[in-house]
Structure 1
Amino acid sequence: MKYKYIPLILFISSATWVSCSKSQKKNTALPPTPVNVQAVEKTDATYYDQFPGTVVALNSVELRSQVTGFITGIYFKEGEVVPKGKVLYEIDRRLYEATYQQAKANLASSQASLVRAQKDADRYTQLLKQDAVARQIVDNAIATLETSRSQVAASAAAVKSAQANLSYAIIKAPFTGRIGISQVRLGAQVTPGSTLLNTISSENPIAVDFVVDESNIDRFVKLQNKALKQDSTFKLQLSDGQAYNHPGKIAVIDRGVNNQTGTMRVRIRFPNPQNELVDGMSCVLNVLNTASGNQLVIPYKAVVEQMGEFFVFVAQDTIAKQHKIKIGPKVKSNVVVLGGIKEGDQIITEGLQKLRDGGHITLGAPKQAPQSQQQAGK
């Protein structure tokens, strides 16, 4: 008899446990997440595309000797700006001076022989008219005259060659520019065409070279045809992050596409009055995006990145709906949105950490944890 009521007791206990479980789940349901929202608006967004670039001198020349010899003079200070025509190096001129003087003497001798041969030819020609001399003698005189003329021409060419070699012994600046560190010292022997003496490059104006892919070529061709003067289309950012104060303009677009990389080189010319840009330095070229203008712009803090994709939460009454978006460039603390949301949507800007797609929300600033709890968490 004592076991008669056991099933009844078990049934009552199970019902009580189920009722308590439902009550506990109801009591532990997550409350709505407090969030702040902001309406999506269109605004005038000016933004730039970035390209890594390299500063290059518009004129840059490696100075090399055209004659052999020993350096006997260096007439500049390394690193200074030298004017066009300034004497930079001198190679031992004695041998070339002697060769030049000898060539001039040979020319004078050839010219004297030509004068004598001309007189002989004239004299024998006159005697031939009087039948006072044999025809063979006249022919020999005329041949000697032609030989003398050839010798004069050869001597004159030798003089020009010797004079050129003598002038090559003096190396001058081909244009106004900054000269680098000398690669040779006094007494060093130089070989024609192979010994590098120095490098000189112009500084103002200067250029920046960068490459663009095939899809962007038409864009820069249009910019080249349009840009008749310097404007804000091309801006420069230096390697230290500072902005360069002078805008640039397209100087030249390369003749063709590199068939290995599929890119084309573009050169932008910049004024360089303070010599801030130095040949060879790296920089970032900012090119005004042609899509700049009236665009959807949202705070960048509202964007959530997941696996290389970008999302925002849109408030729909009391529900947060996740939308995948396509973002454009950043504009300060904002970002341009190219698709995925529309003007007027209420996007959530604060309280994103606890949000899930379809989660309940309530408008209002997310509560901050007490200072004591924040310090304890740290």
Structure 2
Amino acid sequence: MKTIDLAHRAACAWLVGGLLLAAPVQPTRAADTPAIPVVTASAERRSIARSFEFVGRVEAPERVDVRARVKGVLEEVLFKEGDTIKAGTPLYRIEKSLFEADVKQAQGALERGKAELALAGIQRDRAEELLKRNAGTAVAFDQAVAQEAQAKGATTSAEANLETTKINLGYTDIVAPITGRIGRTVVTKGNIVGPESGVLTSLVSQDPMHVTFPISQRDIMAAKKAGQVDDVKAIKVQIRFSDGTLYNQVGQINFIDVSVDRSTDTVVVRADIANPAGTLIDGQLVKVELQAGAPQERVLVPQAALLADQQGTYLFIVDDGKAAVKRVKTEGAQGADSIVASGLDGGELVIVDGFQSLRPGMAVRATPAPTLRTGG
């Protein structure tokens, strides 16, 4: 009986196992896995020029520290702080009365000197005439000549002193030596100012402005090659502000330093750029882009979309509602975008956020990113 029971159980087990093996395995349906929400942006194909980016600083070509050249009581401040001032515009006025008195005194001294010179000339002529008639002596004639020479010297000194007092009187009106924007005044009406007072205010020119930036020799050669030019001064310069916006004026390189900084192996380069609206401010930190070569069509994607692993750079795109991987090669930046040299044709939906847990083939639910790109 036991033998028959064991055989029966074995037969039942074999039958159940066979049924399980024969039953088809049901694959996991895509509908069973919820779509992952992602943020996307379009890979754009645009015509752009090859650019090289550096950090630079805006500098005014002319900067003047305004000082008092004579000492006196400040009667008036004649400008509004922050205004644009033309060359020759009065800025400060110092009390004139003492300097006008000095001019009159010097004029009086000059008149006395001229009178003494005239008298000395008459005396010399008389001494010469007497000497010719043998009625005078050579000593008297020599003394008359010497007195006339002394009178001439005194008159010359009086003329110079008068000129000096007139110059000092002119210095009581402190005028703008250049055209530019004026800063705040450090002195007010009623104070005594003079050469020892230091800087009263500063004046900086506005249009055009300089932009200086360091550049390595390797970058200089690369920019020449990309622009197909022999002289880097022929390459155009553009400025990008800290918020990513591009300045609407194009500059031109006008100076390359004659020596290399040995600590950084860079050369200081300077460009001129127009500033008609006063947008650029002296001392401002900006990004400098050298635009090299004729514009060419390139695919641009947001830099936030790029990922990297041991095989290189890649990104996720949305393909038929699913995530797919695209291997790409990049060739620099264009504002907030990266330039894709190969791997994309343009028009693909690139995932810029939400790819942290993505795997190829996963279903995704795409939402367009806000329009914040400033690559152009």
Tell me if both proteins adopt one fold, taking TM over 0.5 as the criterion. yes
- Conserved? CA contact 1:70–1:188, under 8 Å: yes
1:226 aligned onto 2:234: yes
1:271 aligned onto 2:267: no
**5+ long unaligned stretches in structure 1:** 1-22, 28-41, 228-232, 314-319, 356-360, 370-378
State the shift of 1:68 in Å.
Answer: 1.9
- Conserved? CA contact 2:329–2:340, under 8 Å: no
Structure-2 residue corresponding to 1:35: none
Structure-1 residue corresponding to 2:141: 138
Pick one of 307, 312, 317 that aligns with 1:310.
Answer: 312
State the shift of 1:121 in Å.
Answer: 0.7
CA offsets 1:195-244 (integer angstroms, 9 cap, x no match)? 211111222222322222343456589555436xxxxx322222332221
Pick one of 196, 200, 205 that aligns with 2:199.
Answer: 196
1:75 aligned onto 2:78: yes
**Residues 43, 203 of structure 1: CA spacing in aligned structure 2 closer, same or farther, 3 A cutoff?**
closer
- Conserved? CA contact 1:45–1:294, under 8 Å: yes
Structure-2 residue corresponding to 1:36: none
For residues 157 and 49 of structure 2, what CA distance do their matches in structure 1 show? 71
Pick one of 325, 328, 331 that aligns with 2:332.
Answer: 328
**5+ long unaligned stretches in structure 2:** 1-20, 26-44, 316-323, 366-376
Structure-2 residue corresponding to 1:367: 363
Structure-2 residue corresponding to 1:97: 100
- Conserved? CA contact 1:120–1:141, under 8 Å: yes
Q: Superposition pairs for residues 32-111 of structure 1, below 5 Å?
A: 46-111=49-114
For residues 283 and 135 of structure 1, what CA distance do their matches in structure 2 show? 83
Structure-1 residue corresponding to 2:214: 211
- Residue type at the aligned position of 1:187: G
Normalising by structure 1, report the TM-score.
0.68
Greater mean deviation of Cα atoms: 233-242 or 71-80: 233-242
- Residue type at the aligned position of 2:363: K
- Conserved? CA contact 1:46–1:331, under 8 Å: no
- Residue type at the aligned position of 2:287: V
What is the SS of the residue equivalent to 1:196?
Answer: coil
For residues 331 and 239 of structure 1, what CA distance do their matches in structure 2 show? 11
Greater mean deviation of Cα atoms: 43-52 or 157-166: 43-52
What is the SS of the residue equivalent to 2:195?
Answer: coil
Report the number of matched residues. Answer: 313
Identity of aligned residues (%): 27
State the shift of 1:69 in Å.
Answer: 2.2
For residues 142 and 189 of structure 1, what CA distance do their matches in structure 2 show? 48
CA offsets 1:296-355 (integer angstroms, 9 cap, x no match)? 989978854248x83459xxxxxx999896753358755344xxx8999xxxx8999777
- Conserved? CA contact 2:244–2:335, under 8 Å: no
- Conserved? CA contact 2:255–2:269, under 8 Å: yes
Pick one of 274, 279, 290 that aligns with 1:287.
Answer: 290
- Conserved? CA contact 1:235–1:286, under 8 Å: yes
- Conserved? CA contact 2:244–2:336, under 8 Å: no
State the shift of 1:124 in Å.
Answer: 0.7
Structure-1 residue corresponding to 2:31: none
- Conserved? CA contact 1:127–1:133, under 8 Å: yes
- Conserved? CA contact 1:330–1:336, under 8 Å: no
What is the SS of the residue equivalent to 2:105?
Answer: helix
Pick one of 140, 145, 152 that aligns with 1:149.
Answer: 152
**Residues 325, 61 of structure 1: CA spacing in aligned structure 2 closer, same or farther, 3 A cutoff?**
same
- Conserved? CA contact 2:49–2:293, under 8 Å: no
For residues 189 and 266 of structure 1, what CA distance do their matches in structure 2 show? 43
For residues 331 and 238 of structure 1, what CA distance do their matches in structure 2 show? 10
For residues 298 and 182 of structure 1, what CA distance do their matches in structure 2 show? 50
- Residue type at the aligned position of 1:73: E
**Residues 304, 188 of structure 1: CA spacing in aligned structure 2 closer, same or farther, 3 A cutoff?**
same
Normalising by structure 2, report the TM-score.
0.68
